[in-house]
Amino acid sequence: MLRNITLNHITKIEGHAKLDLAIDNGKVTTCHLSATEGARYFEGLVKNRKFYEAHEMTSRICGICSCGHVVAAVQAIEDALGFQPSAQTFRLRELLTLGERIRSHATHLYFLALPDYLGYESALAMAPTYKAELMKALGLMKIGNAIVKLLGARDLHPVSATPGGWLHLPSTGELRAVAKELEKAKKDAIATCSLFASLTHPDFDSPSEWFSLKHESEYAMLRGDFHSPRVVFECHKLHDFVREYHEDYSTANFVVVKGGRQYMLGALPRLNNNASQLSKDAKAMVKKVRLRLPSSNPYHQNLAQAIELIHAIDHAHDICSALEVTDEKPPKLSPKAGHGIAAVEVPRGTLWHEYTLDADGMITYANIITPTAQNLLSMQEDIKRVLPSILGKKKEDIVMDVEKLIRAYDPCFSCSAHFLEVNWDEH
Amino acid sequence: MIKETTRKKGRADANPSKAKPLIGVFGITGCAGCQLSIIFNEDDILDLIDLVDLRAFPFIKEVNPEEHFDICIIEGLVADKGDLERIKKLRGNSKMVVSLGACACTGCVPAYRQFTLKENYEHLLYQKMEEIQDVKPTPIDAHIKVDYYIPGCPPDKKQILAFIKGAVAGRIPKPYDSPVCIECRQNGNACLLDVGKPCLGPITAGGCDAVCINGGFECWGCRGPTKDMHLDLMIDILRAKGFDDRFIQDRMRTFVGLKLPMLEKVMKKTSEVNVTFKGMPAQRGLP
């Protein structure tokens, strides 16, 4: 018996994607997960633009990761120019990225993932029964947004970060006020962990290798090497270990590491690789909720995000309560020819920006690899792997299980609709 | 104690009432940032669903019937055939269509492709399925009638809310058409043009509280040109600051190029007249 299942518009994810499944006599013969976003060609748009314009344009790739794109672009440009930012600049970039992580995780956990577990069609439909939970979500989103707005001047697509430093600085007093708010938000992050730990996560073992940045002195976010438990890659050698390829059914690329292996990025891989560097309370929470690390179950991404909420709040609090802001003006950077790469841990995993500049500071080449593009193969293969065990179920329950798995990865298909040079074979 | 279940239950409107306007929020090709801006109204979003029947919002809802909407809010630009079909269908199903954000209103950064050399991006092109075949990147009103615009990349989240609340009460907010400079001065910012930055505030419609300039960053024009802008003067000022014509043209076209069809002509005309502003030192505009 042949069954075809097509999910044309997968809901409650960022961007647009579809899934085509064909099952023949209990065997999965087709499983295509594809981005159906229109093409935007950002890497082509920044060509022939000035080095200091890249971040403002590429942040438009994604709303929910716009801070990550700005920081990655700015750091890649600085790398190309051979510039080292000051310690304060770096700390504030961390804070901007943490603000984004807090609001992104809170939005994903409560608005996109939780309704699946509680059997509601949306978070809004949960409102009458679960108002207290939603208020926690909105409170966490609010503190994340407040951090982004304070540093970046806007809620989305922040503008104050620039190659060299910051065009506008928060005052020390403003940071201390945020620290107070973070203290209040902490209990909501802890409650979020308890909530997600109380949910039943389906058992599943993904063969994907988990990758994240890793740095000797911190829970890596803006610097470090690209790690899995088996290998370490130096970020500058990106093209030696990552290969992109294209399938005609999608506007997103698939990405594999050397040897053609699928890999997974995001909160869970970060915990798997770097749990020993979490904040004290986040570490205690891992123990309390009995999350056994490393975990190869992608359904644990949700719980991992909840734990990262605690860590992000603690880390942001450390910065906001200790940093004495000095009035540093960004230096005027002189254009010069160069090539730069930056990798940044954004909510969904490792984001890569790469630029080549000519002697006038014009961008001659740009390449951006987003976390969702890198997770795509892993997601698709995991769906293929989970299907045989759930084929006995009703179609709507199969769809629900598959959607739950996709959402656990927290995909962002707006981001992943990204393009590269492809030699197209007609066949 | 929270109970898990696998059955879908509950709609967004806990107390359905016929009087509530039916609202749909959809995204076509874009970054989802404008839709996020709606739910980032943390203090008000739960009240909003008491006020309207949020019937469809696929970004955060599983069940999204495409019925006859009183107001259909669309984020994103038309970049492929699927987008085009989708907005035509939504237009047919809606009394009022609202363009939400710069992509929907002006085409934003992705539509800048229309002004770049094909060789910049042709190596990125490849064959695609029929439904995701490219179309020229364009704002929504290039294809369907749009009744209201909420500009900005992203729009001010409170303005989105103000529009929905106003529409429900029958009082739709008037578009803001004064230049960004008005709010910028009110906020006490130093003029960025004075320090040699290529700020497009003088020709750009405000209503954004000059957020970018508050953050030390020059205006790139994301909310679109004002009706009575002095494009020629703006070009002359930027030239006097030392910016070359190519830079000026690229910068002005980044967010709103399709709304400045006269740009090339004005640039040509002004270069012939060769007006210079005295007292403004020419500087390279590096940050």
Res A317: pLDDT: 98
Query: Residue B253: closest CA among chain A residues belongs to which residue?
Result: A45
Q: Under 8 Å CB-to-CB from B252, ≥6 apart: which residues? A: B200, B221, B260, B263
| Tokens 């010069």, located at residue | A336
The span from the CA of B6 to the CA of B119, in Å, is: 51
Q: Where in chain B is the domain with CATH 3.40.50.700?
A: 22-168
Residues of chain A in contact with residue B8, where contact means CB-CB under 8 angstroms, are: 119-121
Tokens for A389? 């065990």
Q: Which CATH superfamily is domain B22-168 in?
A: NADH:ubiquinone oxidoreductase-like, 20kDa subunit (3.40.50.700)
Nearest to A230 by CA among A303, A294, A304: A294
* B212: closest CA of chain A, how far (Å): 6
- Bridge partners (DSSP) of residue B61 are A122
CB contact under 8 A, A39 and B80: yes
**pLDDT, tens digit, 9 for 90 and up, residues B23-82:** 999 999 999 999 999 999 999 999 998 899 999 999 999 889 988 999 999 999 999 898
Question: Under a CB-based contact definition with an 8 Å cutoff, are residues A345 and A270 in contact?
Answer: yes
| Pair of tokens at residue A170 | 């928060």
Q: Does residue B201 contact residue B214 with C-beta atoms inside 8 Å?
A: no
Chain B residues close to A61, C-beta within 8 Å: 31
> CB–CB of B254 and A44 under 8 A?
no
pLDDT at A393: 85
Instruction: Show residues of chain B in contact with A47, CB under 8 Å.
Output: 116, 120-121
Q: Is A82 a residue whose pLDDT tops 50? A: yes
Distance CA B83, CA B61 (A): 20
- Check whether A189 has a pLDDT greater than 80: yes
For residues A52-58, give the mean pLDDT: 97
Q: Which residue has the higher pLDDT, B97 or A202?
A: B97
Residues of chain B with pLDDT > 90, as a percent, come to 75
Nearest-neighbour CA in chain B from A142: distance (Å): 6
Q: What percent of chain A has pLDDT over 70?
A: 95
Check CB contact of B137 with chain A, cutoff 8 Å.
yes
Judged by DSSP in three states, A41 sits in coil
CB pairs under 8 A between A and B: 262
For the cut 60, the answer to whether the pLDDT of residue B280 exceeds it is: no
Q: Which amino acid is at A394?
A: K
Measured between CB atoms, does A423 come within 8 Å of chain B? no
Region A362-371 average pLDDT: 94
Give the pLDDT score at B273: 61
Q: Is A48 on the interface with B (CB under 8 A)?
A: yes
What integer pLDDT is reported at residue B14 of this predicted model? Answer: 44
Whether chain B has a CB inside 8 Å of the CB on A41: the answer is yes
pLDDT confidence band for A24 (50 / 70 / 90): confident
| Cβ pair B34:A63 closer than 8 A | yes
Q: Which residues 177-216 of chain B have a CB within 8 Å of chain A? A: 211-212, 214-216
Half-sphere exposure in the Cβ direction for A68 (13 Å, CA): 28
**pLDDT band at residue A425 under the 50/70/90 scheme:** very low
| pLDDT tens track for A197-221 | 999 988 899 999 999 999 999 999 9
Indicate the class that CATH gives domain A42-416. Answer: mainly alpha
A124–B60 C-beta distance less than 8 A: yes
- Put simply, whether A234 touches B (Cβ < 8 Å) is no
User: In the predicted model, what is the mean pLDDT of residues A54-81?
Assistant: 96
> Residues 6 or more apart from B279 whose CB is under 8 A from it?
none
3-state class (DSSP) for residue A50: strand
B residues 239-278 near A, CB within 8 Å? 247, 250-251, 254
- The H or E element spanning position A218 is none
Range with the lowest mean pLDDT among A328-337, B46-55, B253-262? B46-55
**A118–B3: do the CB atoms touch at under 8 Å?**
yes
Give the residue from A246, A252, A54, A67 showing the smallest Cα distance to A154.
A67
Beta carbons within 10 angstroms of residue B126's beta carbon: 16
- Domain ranges within chain A, ordered by starting residue: 42-416
3-state secondary structure of A6: strand
Contacts of B74 in chain A (CB under 8 A): none
CB neighbour list of residue B119: distance below 8 Å, 6 or more residues apart: none
A379-420 confidence digits (pLDDT tens)? 999 999 988 888 888 877 888 888 888 888 888 876 655 443
Given a cut of 70, whether residue B8 has pLDDT beyond it is: no
8 Å CB contact between A320 and A95: yes
SS (H, E, C) chain B: CCCCCCCCECCCCCCCCCCCCEEEEEECECCCHHHHHHHCCCCCHHHHHHHCEEEECCCCECCCCCCCEEEEEEECEEEEHHHHHHHHHHHHCEEEEEEEHHHHHHCHHHHHHHHCCHHHHHHHCCCCCHHHCEEEEECHHHCCCCCEEECCCCCCHHHHHHHHHHHHCCCCCCCCCCEHHHHHHHCCCCCCHHHCCCCCHHHEECCCCCHHHHCCCCCCCCCCECCCCCHHHHHHHHHHCCCCHHHHHHHHHHHHHHHCCCHHHHHHHHHHHCCCCCCCCCCCCCC
Cα–Cα distance for residue pair A91/B204, rounded to 1 Å: 34
Decide if A111 and B12 are in contact by the 8 Å CB cutoff.
no
What is the pLDDT, as a whole number, of residue A419?
40
pLDDT digit string (tens) for B99-148?
999 999 999 999 999 998 888 877 776 666 666 788 899 999 999 999 99
Helix (H, G, I), strand (E, B) or coil at A352: strand
Instruction: Give the H or E element holding residue A92.
Output: helix A87-106
Render pLDDT for B185-241 as a digit per residue (tens, 0 to 9).
Answer: 999 999 999 999 999 999 999 999 999 999 999 999 999 999 999 999 999 999 999
Pairwise CB contact (< 8 Å): B116 & A15: no
Quote the minimal CA–CA distance from A221 to chain B in Å.
23
B19 interface with A at CB cutoff 8 Å: no
The three-state secondary structure class of A342 is: strand
Q: Which of B4, B5, B7, B36 to mutate against chain A (most A CBs within 10 Å)? A: B36
| pLDDT per residue as tens digits for the range A316-326 | 999 999 999 99
Does residue B118 belong to the interface with chain A, where contact is any CB pair within 8 Å?
no
8 A C-beta contact, residue A279 and residue A316 = no
Q: What is the pLDDT of residue B4?
A: 63
Would an 8 Å CB–CB cutoff place B134 in contact with chain A?
yes
Contact list in B for residue A129 (CB cut-off 8 A) is: 10
Distance CA A49, CA A45 (A): 8
Tell me how many degrees the CA angle A76-A81-A85 measures, rounded to the nearest 5: 70
Instruction: Specify whether the CB–CB gap between A11 and A115 falls below 8 A.
Output: no
Tokens 């003067």 correspond to B233
Q: What is the mean pLDDT of residues A3-13?
A: 71
- How close does chain A come to B267, measured CA to CA in Å? 19
Mean pLDDT of chain B: 88
The pLDDT assigned to B120 comes to 81
3-state SS class at A155: coil
Q: Is B115 exposed, middle or buried (0-12, 13-18, 19+ CB in 10 A)?
A: middle
